[in-house]
A and B are shown apart, each in its own frame.
Chain A
């Protein structure tokens, strides 16, 4: 096992403190409970306002998530469940809840502020896309540990996406349990949240989540695979421009059209297994953690050397060859079925192949009978 505390991210710390925040809007409160509000963060799920604040000049910053006073009963119940779920998780990789007041006119809860950048902003600040193998390893392992801690408390996050992953100098943190679900015995009220929380979330949702089926830990495993594939190339592996409808996107997942080319080959097997369509075929978090740690063990030191995929490297693993062949075959199938150019090219190829085989047969015929 790799030591639990990872050394600080050297390359990552330089960007700490440049996180995107918004100024307060005129209608925003100046204080919430004992906290003075400083600025806004992007709005969370359920229409909650998210602020950064602190009690006094010397105190540490906190994140305050606050529901508007006119929020409905269902939203309030979901909000309360979010607090309950987040409070269940005892982990150094999940932001702690330090205070809450769910009875107030505008219910709020207060989390510690993680000094760092969300993964999507971090990738956007990179000049050339993607992370190097060492950074990717740290994020992969850190996120697995955060998910492991959440699952140990029987909470499924259900919204693992780059915006909810904070990279700080202390490691990787998972935030926003807005649509999380408790898997243990739960009160009968307000358990249904199969809706996808806002724009872009579909891109990291598992196929069963897109279908509205019941979710298990395997769903978070899928999102993990998608996040790592995205971080490797700084480009979404299925729908880079977010232009597909959820139904079309689901079809792409079903056909296995996931572009894993930027994923370094030491992570390729783990990502491929995590991205299996059927939830029961995906590995558990502990299997995944073991695989990732074993396959990236050689990367002990911080390294700026990217690990490029080579054709030879891809052939080292049967699974990777199989998945690669499946990916290309399904692309071919789509090209033939959906586009007239692809169909015309396929007809041309069939004629050419026919000519070659006809010629070979004729030669054989002459050799045998001539």
Chain B
């Protein structure tokens, strides 16, 4: 049972890290889209 709890905890930690990094990736994507759009339109 202890090992199961550890595994569950590691899984949740990874999930959390992934979601955090996913938000950063979305932000990077949005910023670079905006930047290029503005550069091309000006």
Contacts and interface: CB of A to CB of B under 8 A. Distances in A.
B7 A358 contact: no
B28 A211 contact: no
Interface of A: 210-212, 246-248, 250-251, 254-255, 333-334, 336-338, 343, 346-347, 350-351, 353-355, 357-359, 361-363, 365-366
A357 B32 CA distance: 9
A354 B10 contact: no
Contacts of A255: 11
B18 A337 contact: yes
Given A246-B3, A248-B7, A351-B28, A361 B18 contact: no
Nearest to A358: B36
B40 A346 contact: no
Contacts of A358: 32-37, 39-40
A362 B41 contact: yes
A203 to B, nearest CB: 16
A190 to B, nearest CB: 21
Contact of B41 (A351, A355, A365): A365
Where chain A touches its partner, the secondary structure class is: helix
A354 B29 contact: yes
Nearest to A352: B32
Contacts of B37: 358, 361-362, 365
Contacts of A355: 32-33, 36
A195 to B, nearest CB: 12
Contacts of A359: 36, 40
Given A251-B11, A347-B28, A354-B30, A336 B18 contact: yes
Given A354-B31, A358-B32, A247 B17 contact: no
Interface string B14-36: 11011001101110111111111
**Lowest 8 A-B CB distances belong to which pairs?**
A358-B36, A354-B32, A362-B40, A337-B18, A247-B7, A354-B33, A350-B29, A358-B37
A30 B14 CA distance: 57
Contacts of A366: 41
Given A211-B4, A212-B4, A247-B10, 5 more contacts: A211-B1, A333-B18, A351-B29, A357-B33, A358-B32
